[in-house]
Amino acid sequence: MPKKYSRHQANCLIMAKLQRLVDAHEDWRFHQLLQNCGVSLHGPADMFLEESEDTLARLEEVSPGA
């Protein structure tokens, strides 16, 4: 399956979405924000090698309006 975004493009989109979430939820702590929007998962999952496109897809699924 061809990639939709380069790693850099996906990272930039993730950051833009996170900025909108930070602005919308000023009282959330940073890690709380990452968990609530699906970037950081609960539990022992090691996400170090996860591709940015996969993170972006999860972010869009959990927080589609962000």
Q: What is the DSSP string of 8-65?
A: HHHHHHHHHHHHHHHHH-TTS-HHHHHHHTTSS-SSS---TT--HHHHHHHHHHH-TT
Q: Give the model's pLDDT for residue 42.
A: 81
Single pTM value for the model: 0.86
Q: Please state the domain extents for the chain.
A: 7-62
What is the full per-residue pLDDT of the chain (66 aa) written as tens digits? 567 999 999 999 999 999 999 999 999 999 999 999 999 988 888 899 999 999 999 999 998 888
Q: Give the model's pLDDT for residue 1.
A: 53
